[in-house]
């Protein structure tokens, strides 16, 4: 398939999934789906491989394929639909109900349309079906194994009533399920139109190509990650004893292995994850680390292998309870993977809050602080990791529930310190106007477990009438009680010295400054590649200090002379003649351009980076100017960046640490 048809097909599949999502969100009745958009839609090929998914909520990323896998082997006819929520047979946790519709063109199976929605209640001990103390799956609500909900276009109304009969607000459950069926019908229709337009064979090929395409994109990015193993550890607080989480992440070429061996065994609480949930968390993190825009498909995750031993917390066996695995443990799994690759940790919880009695259920997950990135502050008051739902507006809350809001604000100062700050959490304080059952749950790592490179975010707090409670609360509110939740901040991030170690330092031109500076860097233990037009000079440096000679002599690109013979010619001109000068550095690389000019002039250049770009050495946009001159420059080691630049942040420490200056091109991976 050519590059054009491929892009057109990817677009068509994505449009179909988006349209399914619109139908689902807009026709559902529950606030959970409509307002919070806690739902996903996807299309699959006849083998049950997910070819496209609408972007709603990351927690469903890896879980949709398991749902279709659970029914792919059945016999299918047009107008059939399946329903399931059993975490051990295609589901994640009970409130997530998946409806799967086979799509047939004539007698031929074209694929599947599937939709998943978080239903506000599926029965069980407490409203919201997220009981704090469930021990086995049956405590958590109605378990639906893969079941045929419609046959040849006829909905099994009796079954529908039976299934929803054990849930609170069954009419709303049925409405949401009908919305899921409507979404699948839309997806099926679009898939059939594609089949009619291009032919069944061509559609099949296009689906295969789409999967391969996703795979190529992810592989290309994994290949850019340095090979090797990285470890990350965390503990998940579970009452009396903490549960260890362990990850070894190995990058080898274009593949990534995430091995959770050594993590805790499944426990008798409800923090257990079925494998599908662990996969979702891993896929989310991989996407953040590799190609955030890759169309979500099974292909995009082929290069990722996840090992989670059966019977462990991250691959639990029935009948373990799983209610909090999907919302809490999954966030921590994502954090673990991100942390292994140097991302500062975010709030590490979804801050689940459920209030309710026989008349109403209010469930919501609260925003917090995002961990800082290598090049930016973490945003405040956002959903972190696996959740990305909208809040319930204060006015909607007060209109629909016997609750009053006392405060809703940004929790200032809760983000971790660092060159890049962690995001702040939020404060949400509610007053009960009636008697409610209460369940609030958040966890925060007691300390950062990946290598700390910045300050930790503040821990979350639950405060009832001014008295601090544990992270996980289960109780009752009387009228007038005030429940205050302060959500965690994100971790901060200092400049990553390990990253700095990976900076490749290339000198173009060993003149008055360059020779001294390169020598200083070599002495400081950095690996340096040097080039000079007069080759002997580079070889001399190599001999004296162990610098590498140029692997790719830029002689071909050196169109102008840059002999640094001490006649006062600007070393910058040497840089400008190099390949990087004309088009800028290659993607992912930065170039620091320096020259031997008076400190005042260098400051002026740094302060006016763009005024006369053509006249500046090399037209580099990022520029470091030394505060020193000529043969003395290497003694100063103070630098000014022409503008705030993460890439320069990353390459300046080694220059400073070695107190040297010169004409140089620094490339940063």
Partner 1 sequence: MVLGVDVGGTFTDAVLLTDGRVVTAKAPTTAADQSDGVLAAVETALERAGTTAGEVDRFVHGMTVGTNALLEGKVAATALLASEGFTDLEELGRQARAELYRLCAGHPPPLVPPGLRVGVRERMGPEGVLRPLDERALYGSIRALSHSEGVEAFAVCLLWGFRHPEHERRAAAILEEEVPDAHVSTSHETAGVFREYERAATTIVDAALSPLLRRYLERLGERARDLGLPNPEVMLSGGGVADAGTAARHGSWTVLSGPAGGSVGAARMAERSGAPDAVCLDMGGTSCDVSLAEAGSVKRTGGREVGGRALALPMVDVHTVGAGGGSVAWADAGGALRVGPRSAGADPGPACYGRGGFEPTVTDANLVLGYLDRGSPLAGGVELDLGAARRALADLGGRLELELEAVAAGIARVASAEMARAVRVVTVERGIDPRDLALVAFGGAGPLHAAAIADELGMRRIVVPRASGVLSALGLVAGERRRDLVESVLLAGGDLTEEAVGASVARLAARGREELHAPEAEVRASYDLRYAGQAFELTIAEAPEPDPGRLRRAFESAHEERYGYADSHADLELVTVRVTVAEPAADLIPGNDGAAAEETTRSALFDGRRMEAKVLGGAISRVSGPAICELPEATLVVPPGWSGGADVDGTIVLERG
Q: Scanning residues 373 to 402, which ones bind partner 1 (CB under 8 A)?
A: 373, 375-384, 388-391, 393-396, 398-400
Question: Binding mask 333-352 vs partner 1 (x if CB under 8 A, - otherwise)?
Answer: -----x----x--x------
CB of 353 to partner 1, least distance (A): 13
Please, what is the minimum distance in Å from the beta carbon of residue 199 to partner 1? 18
Least distance CB 459 / partner 1 (angstroms): 19
Q: Binding marks (x or -) toward partner 1, 213..252, rule CB under 8 A?
A: xxxxx--xx-------------------------------
In DSSP terms, 228 is beta-bridged to 251
Closest-CA residue to 440 (of 559, 330, 525, 355): 355
The Cα–Cα gap between 32 and 52 comes to: 23
The tokens of 165 are what? 């009969």
Give CA–CA dist 318/272, Å, rounded.
Answer: 10
**Angle subtended at Cα 293 by Cα 291 and Cα 298, rounded to the nearest 5 degrees:** 75
- Binding partner 1 by CB under 8 A: which of 161, 317, 412, 635? 412
Decide whether 6 or 125 has the Cβ nearer to partner 1. Answer: 6
Query: Cα–Cα distance between 256 and 220 in angstroms, integer?
Result: 12
- Using CB under 8 A, pick the residue from 143, 207, 340, 366 that binds partner 1: 366
Half-sphere exposure of 638 (CA within 13 A, CB side): 7
Q: Looking at the DSSP assignment, which residues form a beta bridge with residue 44?
A: 50, 112
Q: What sign has the CA pseudo-torsion 6, 10, 13, 15?
A: negative
In total, the chain counts a number of residues equal to 669
Residues 6+ apart with CB under 8 A from 376: 420, 646
- By beta-carbon proximity to partner 1, the closer residue of 154 and 551 is 154
Does residue 180 interact with partner 1 by CB under 8 A?
no
Cβ atoms of 361 and 121 within 8 Å: the answer is: yes
Contacts of 651 (CB under 8 A, 6+ apart): 500, 503, 590, 592, 624, 666, 668
The strand ranges marked E within 357-460 are 361-365, 403-411, 425-432, 436-441
Among 20-28, 46-54, 96-104, 318-326, the segment contacting partner 1 (CB under 8 A): 20-28
Nearest distance from C-beta of residue 202 to partner 1, angstroms: 16
Contacting residue, 98, 115, 126, 172, with partner 1 by CB under 8 A: 172
In the complex, minimum distance from the CB of residue 485 to partner 1, in angstroms, rounded to a whole number: 13
Whole-angstrom CA distances from 171 to 29, 55, 253 are 9, 27, 52
Which 54-73 residues touch partner 1, going by CB under 8 A?
A: 55, 58
Structure tokens, 230: 């990285």
Nearer to partner 1, 383 or 516 (CB): 383
* Site track 35-54 with partner 1 (rule: CB under 8 A), x = hit: x-------------------
- Beta carbon of residue 167, minimum distance to partner 1 (angstroms, whole number): 15
494 binds partner 1 (CB under 8 A): no
Among 155, 175, 437, 463, binds partner 1 (CB under 8 A): 175
**Minimum distance, C-beta of residue 596 to partner 1, in the bound complex (Å):** 30
Choosing from 52, 117, 179, 298, the residue that interacts with partner 1 (CB under 8 A) is 179
Burial of residue 362, with CB atoms counted within 10 A of its CB: 0-12 exposed, 13-18 middle, 19 or more buried: buried
R_g (Cα) of the chain, nearest Å:
29
Give the CA-trace dihedral at 216, 217, 220, 222, to 10 degrees.
-110
Name which position in 31, 336, 503, 510 contacts partner 1 (CB under 8 A): 31
First to last CA, the chain: 33
Provide the minimum distance between the beta carbon of 119 and partner 1 in the complex, in angstroms, as a whole number: 14
Token pair recorded at residue 102: 């086979």
Q: Which stretch in 111-119, 126-134, 408-416, 469-477 sits in contact with partner 1 by CB under 8 A? A: 408-416
Q: CB of residue 616 vs partner 1: minimum separation in angstroms?
A: 17
> Smallest distance, Å, CB 173 to partner 1?
12
Q: How far is the CB of 176 from partner 1 (least distance, A)?
A: 11
Q: With binding defined as CB under 8 A, does residue 125 bind partner 1? A: no
- Give the per-residue contact string, 419-448, with partner 1 (x = CB under 8 A; - = no): -------x--x-------------------
Give the DSSP H/E element, type plus range, for residue 639. Answer: strand 639-641
Sole window of 14-22, 307-315, 455-463, 656-664 interacting with partner 1 (rule: CB under 8 A): 14-22
Considering only 88-96, 177-185, 506-514, 599-607, which stretch makes contact with partner 1 by CB under 8 A? Answer: 177-185
* CA angle in degrees (0–180, nearest 5) for 218-222-225: 155
30 is an interface residue for partner 1 by CB under 8 A: yes
Beta-strand pair 255-259/304-307? parallel
CA distances from 103 to 11, 46, 91, 95, 196 (A): 20, 9, 21, 25, 13
Using the minimum distance from each CB to partner 1, give the nearer residue, 223 or 524: 223
Which lies closer to partner 1 via its Cβ, residue 272 or residue 389? 389
Single out the residue of 609, 612, 642 nearest to residue 625, CA to CA.
642
As measured in angstroms, the least distance from the Cβ of 36 to partner 1 is: 8
Residues whose CB is less than 8 angstroms from the CB of residue 488 and which lie 6 or more positions away in sequence, other chains included: 347, 348, 349, 368, 369, 414, 425, 442, 444, 457, 458, 459, 460
Nearer to partner 1, 39 or 541 (CB): 39
Size of the site for partner 1 (CB under 8 A): 84
Residue 450 interacting with partner 1 (CB under 8 A): no
Between residue 292 and residue 321, which ones bind partner 1 under the rule CB under 8 A? 292-294
The answer to whether residues 277 and 329 touch, using CB atoms and an 8 Å cutoff, is yes
Q: Nearer to partner 1 by C-beta: 30 or 278?
A: 30
| Under rule CB under 8 A, residue 27 binds partner 1 | yes
- State the nearest-atom distance from the C-beta of 595 to partner 1, in Å: 25
Per CB under 8 A, 10 contacts partner 1: yes
Binding part of the chain for partner 1, among 288-296, 570-578, 605-613, 619-627 by CB under 8 A, reads 288-296
Is residue 288 within 8 A of residue 331, CB to CB? The reply is no
């Amino acid at each position: 398939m050519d590059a054009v048809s491929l892009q057109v097909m990817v677009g068509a599949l994505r449009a179909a999934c988006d349209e399914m999502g619109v139908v689902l969100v807009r026709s559902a009745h529950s606030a959970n789906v409509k307002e919070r958009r806690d739902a996903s839609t996807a299309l699959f090929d006849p083998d049950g491989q997910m070819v496209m998914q609408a972007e709603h909520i990351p927690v469903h990323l890896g879980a949709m394929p398991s749902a279709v896998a659970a029914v792919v082997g059945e016999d299918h006819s047009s107008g059939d639909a399946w329903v399931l929520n059993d975490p051990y047979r295609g589901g994640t946790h009970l409130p997530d109900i998946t409806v799967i519709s086979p799509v047939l063109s004539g007698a031929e199976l074209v694929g599947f349309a599937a939709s998943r929605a978080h239903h506000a209640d599926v029965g069980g001990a407490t409203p919201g079906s997220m009981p704090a103390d469930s021990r086995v799956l049956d405590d958590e609500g109605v378990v639906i194994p893969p079941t045929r909900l419609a046959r040849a276009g006829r909905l099994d109304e009796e079954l529908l009533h039976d299934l929803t009969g054990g849930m609170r607000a069954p009419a709303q459950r049925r409405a949401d399920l009908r919305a899921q069926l409507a979404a699948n019908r839309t997806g099926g229709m679009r898939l059939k139109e594609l089949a009619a337009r291009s032919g069944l064979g061509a559609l099949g090929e296009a689906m295969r190509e789409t999967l391969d395409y996703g795979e190529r994109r992810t592989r290309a990015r994994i290949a850019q990650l340095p090979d090797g193993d990285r470890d990350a550890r965390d503990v998940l607080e579970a009452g009396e004893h903490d549960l260890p989480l362990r990850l070894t992440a190995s990058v080898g070429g274009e593949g990534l292995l995430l091995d959770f061996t050594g993590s805790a065994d499944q426990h008798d609480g409800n923090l257990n994850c079925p494998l599908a949930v662990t996969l979702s968390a891993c896929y989310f993190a991989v996407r953040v680390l590799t190609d955030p825009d890759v169309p979500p498909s099974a292909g995009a995750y082929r290069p990722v292998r996840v090992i989670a031993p059966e019977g462990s917390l991250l691959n639990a066996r029935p009948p373990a309870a799983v209610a909090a695995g999907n919302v809490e443990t999954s966030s921590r799994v994502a954090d673990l993977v991100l942390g292994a690759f140097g991302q500062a940790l975010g709030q590490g919880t979804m801050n689940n809050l459920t209030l309710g009695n026989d008349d109403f259920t209010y469930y919501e997950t609260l925003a917090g602080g995002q961990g800082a990135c290598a090049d930016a502050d973490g945003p405040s008051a956002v959903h972190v990791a696996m959740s990305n739902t909208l809040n319930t507006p204060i006015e909607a809350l007060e209109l629909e529930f016997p609750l009053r809001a006392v405060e809703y604000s940004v929790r200032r100062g809760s983000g971790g310190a660092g060159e890049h700050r962690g995001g702040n959490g939020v404060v949400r304080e509610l007053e009960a106007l009636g008697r409610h059952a209460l369940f609030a749950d958040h966890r925060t790592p007691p300390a950062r477990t990946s290598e700390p490179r910045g300050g930790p975010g503040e821990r979350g707090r639950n405060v009832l009438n001014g008295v601090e409670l544990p992270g996980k609360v289960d109780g009752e509110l009387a009228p007038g009680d005030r429940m205050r939740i302060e959500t965690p901040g994100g971790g901060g991030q200092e400049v990553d010295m390990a990253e700095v170690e990976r900076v490749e330092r290339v000198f173009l031109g060993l003149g008055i400054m360059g020779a001294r500076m390169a020598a200083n860097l070599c002495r400081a233990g950095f690996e340096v590649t040097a080039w000079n037009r007069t080759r002997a000079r580079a070889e001399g440096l190599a001999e004296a200090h162990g610098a590498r000679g140029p692997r790719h002599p830029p002689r071909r690109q050196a169109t102008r002379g840059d002999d640094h013979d001490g006649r006062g010619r600007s070393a910058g001109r040497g840089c400008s003649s190099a390949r990087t000068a004309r088009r800028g550095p290659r993607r992912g690389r930065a170039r620091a351009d320096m020259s031997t000019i008076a400190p005042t002039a260098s400051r002026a250049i740094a302060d006016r980076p763009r005024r006369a770009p053509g006249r500046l050495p090399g037209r580099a946009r990022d520029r470091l100017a030394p505060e020193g001159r000529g043969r003395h420059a290497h003694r100063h080691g103070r630098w000014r960046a022409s503008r705030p630049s993460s890439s320069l942040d990353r390459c300046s420490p080694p220059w400073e640490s070695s107190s040297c200056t010169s004409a140089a091109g620094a490339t940063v991976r």
